[in-house]
Structure 1
Amino acid sequence: MSVNAVLKQKMHELGFTQDELASQMNTALMKIIGRPGEVSARTVRNLVNGATRRPIGRTCAALEAVFGCPTADLGFDPPRTAAPAEDPVHRRTLLVAATGTAVAAAAPARHSRLGQPDADRFHLEYTNLLRDDSRLGGAREVERKAVDLTARIQASLTSGGASERIQRQMYRLASDVTCLGAFAAIDASAPQRARAHLDRAFTLAGLARDAETMYRVWDHLMLTSSQRENHAEAAAGAEVMKRSSAARRDPLYASLGYMRRANALARLGQPTESLRAMSLAERAFAPAPGKEPSGWISFYSRAEFDALSSYVWTALGEHARAESCLHRTLAAIPAEMIRNRSLYTAHLSLAQARQGEVELACSTGRRAYEMLLPDSGSQRTVNTLARTRQVIEATGTKAPEAVSWIEESRRWT
């Protein structure tokens, strides 16, 4: 007796446990004979471990209906008698069960069942979109592709038949993809458009029943609130983040929640509470020894921590501290993260301008703009450079380099 490796692999691809396959077979029999089947986990165990080498009757019909192929393609011995290959009508013969009941065993549907290879294929598309986003920022093309990918993932789920594990994995991916589209809208300074995406992502995250996926939606909702200058709502959203089950399980999620709240409180004119939240973010940030963050939260590196800290110091009017944080960020951020490098360089230019370092701010601002790729949609970067120009103009400087930069930057913004 040897394990049926083919069946075992097919089950793995579709994400079926033995109990789930038994359930799917019983559902198939309900469609075939009009009442639930009696396939048990033990039946499936015998199929997998090789105790049953040639399934017959209802078991054969259910297997073929679930997997959409003959049992011979599932690693079983072929039937002792087979219908003539040239006459497909014989695939619709009546199988006689042990009870003598006629079973209408229609030819198995040839639809494709959703399995791990499908999930992996969709995830590869998502990974490619993430790469585009890190380079281009809020490009409408990235946003459009995210919407399209989400629609295709959801469409693939409508046929049913996927295991619970695969379903949850796909809903989680659909939510993540939708959040990516929302973040592209945020980077394009289109918070209302981002909100529409996040309403959809919220539903998908709920269907996934995954705390970390739901946390990401709340994080992006908080960013849209901040972008609309509704800092009270942003602070409330950050409170949800730091009290979430994801934050209770992983200090890194708690740290980001505290940091988002510190930023909102600083903009609400509550410096003491803001600094306390940032201190708690620092305390929770230290990763466990030897543990690398996985999934979406991996973006929250030390470089990102310093960048977000700079936003808090800026809101508190501590521009020298903000500049120091940004220098550390730019020294550590990966070169391929072009959008973020450009954005944080623009913020560095703004911090320098607010300290009266006009010529240095102009030079840094020009470098930030030149980093942007031609197809970039990072309106946040452009808006930051526009604020830098306003600060420099307010100084009344007549320095030739500053005057030249002011005129040049008008064409960018």
Structure 2
Amino acid sequence: MGANVILKRRMDELGLTQEELARQMNVALEALGGRPGDVSARTVRNLLNGSTRRPIGRTCAALEAVFGCPVSALGFEPPRTAAQAEDPVHRRTFLVAATGTAVAAATPARRLRLGQSDADRFHLEYADLLGDDSRVGGTRRIENRGVELASRIQSSLADGAASDRVRRQMYRLASDVTCLAAFAAIDASAPQRARAHLDKALTLAGLARDSETMYRVWDHLMLTSSQRENHAEAAAGAEVMKRSSVARRDPLYASLGHLRHANALARLHQPTESLRVLNLAGKAFGRARDEQPSAWIAFYSRAEFDALSSYVWTALGDHERAEFCLHRALAAIPGGMIRNQGLYTAHLSLSQARQGEAELACATGRRAYEMLLPVSGSQRTTNTLARTRQVIEAADTKAPEVVRWIEESRRWT
């Protein structure tokens, strides 16, 4: 009896810990059977160490749902009978993770054939949604559109046959769209709502069998932990990002993982370790290839590196260094990223207020608010401006322009 090295390799490719695989299997079981799963980390340990060589029943079904392949392709012995696999009802049962329901047909029916053109059509909708998110931020309209698009992608998979390549591509797209909905919730400062989306995205990423897709889910999970002030969990999530296979082969992903980790460590009051990891983030970013990255991580430019670095310096109490980074970020950020321009200008206002520059902070804060489009849903930006007002109020400055700004800003936040 030996360890299952194939399963271990597949888990490493997707950045899955034993606890996370157990959680994904339970999500899949609830979606498939309508009742919660009972897979534990101990169950996964037995699968890894060889104690369980032939998973059966719900364990077998959960593994196949998460990894999107037969258990025999995961290093296990196949089930003793294939009778269930030949049952047309069983073959028609399929996970629809965005709604948590299973779609079943009692009788066999001819299925449509999905091809690359179908995947391309859905991807165009996703690209359009991504552009809207960059402009206006976390509105419920964008969040709901993401959920609806992901549902349509999964419904097409449930109703149509496809090659393994197209099927994986569409699962990846469904995960990406669900992550976009989650990020809209993050931008709206609704981490619990974002977490619900990400639970579904995690299952979809597992079905896509794609480490880059899994990395994005972990990135957003880390952000929800940070928003809930659970910085220990955020640091653990960043560690998963750094150890993923995509981070090991692409320095751009390694850099973002290090930067997220540095931010969490700074908020855990570990300045020496935070600065060490921030330095690693900079070195990895310098090694990144000049080629065009994928649509999602294309946001992580030099401007974004500086902006995210400013968060680390802010957490470490070096507001002058944070201001320097934010000036550099705003000088380089692309014009179409209106939401981020407003957000980083608001953080610039906050850093100026914390250095005692009340009048300058007021002018910068007004500029940040004016950048937001009328339909913007970026609660992160207005929350940052509210913190700026609190700092200025605490300074008890009597300058007329400051007093006017305080009253004016109350209408924004």
Q: CA deviation at 1:295?
A: 3.1
1:12-39 per-position Cα deviation (integer Å, ceiling 9, x unaligned): xxxxxxxxxxxxxxxxxxxxxx9xxxxx
* CA displacement at 1:294 relative to structure 2: 2.6
Matches within 5 A, 1:25-104: none
2:359 matched to 1:352? no
Question: Which residue of structure 2 aligns with residue 49 of structure 1?
Answer: none
Q: Distance in 1 between matches of 2:301 and 2:404?
A: 37
Q: Is the 8 A contact 2:250 2:288 kept in 1?
A: no
2:400 paired residue number = 400
- 1:339 maps to what in 2? 339
In the TM superposition, 1:9-408 aligns within 5 A as: 112-288=112-288, 290-408=290-408
Of structures 1 and 2, the one with the larger relative CO (CA 8 A, separation 6+) is: 2
Q: Return the offset for 1:293.
A: 2.2
Structure index of larger Rg = 1
CA distance in structure 1 between the aligned counterparts of 2:288 and 2:262, rounded to whole angstroms:
23
Distance, in Å, in 2 between the alignment partners of 1:243 and 1:186 is 24
Q: For 1:300 and 1:336, how far apart are their aligned partners in 2?
A: 14
SS of the residue aligned with 1:158?
Answer: helix
Per-residue CA deviation, residues 315-338 of structure 1 (Å, 9 max, x unaligned), is: 000000000000000000011110
Tell me, in whole angstroms, the C-alpha distance in 2 between the residues paired with 1:372 and 1:110.
50
**Separation (CA, whole Å) in 1 of partners of 2:327 and 2:241:** 28
Structure 1 vs Structure 2: percent identity of aligned residues?
79
Deviations 1:331-353 (A, max 9, x none): 00011110000000000000000
Q: Secondary structure at the match of 1:295?
A: coil
TM-score of the pair, normalised by structure 2? 0.73
Distance 1:357 1:370 in 2: 20
The CA distance in 1 between the partners of 2:286 and 2:128, in whole Å, is 29
Contact 2:359 2:402 in 1 (8 A): yes
**Paired AA for residue 399 in structure 2:** A
The CA distance in 2 between the partners of 1:286 and 1:148, in whole Å, is: 38
Unmatched 5+ stretches in structure 1: 1-33, 35-108
CA distance in 1, matches of 2:111, 2:194: 35
Runs of 4+ in 1 over 6 A off after TM superposition: none
How far the C-alpha of 1:298 sits from its partner, in A, is 1.4
Task: Give the distance between the partners of 2:139 and 2:341, measured in 1 at CA.
Answer: 16
SS of the equivalent of 1:132 reads helix
Question: What residue in structure 2 maps to residue 8 of structure 1?
Answer: none
Q: Root-mean-square deviation (CA), in Å?
A: 1.3
Q: Give the letter aligned to residue 230 of structure 1.
A: N
Distance 1:198 1:246 in 2: 19
- The unaligned stretches of length 5 or more in structure 2 are 1-85, 87-108
Write the distance in 2 (CA, Å) between the matches of 1:294 and 1:323.
Answer: 30
Q: Count matched residues.
A: 306
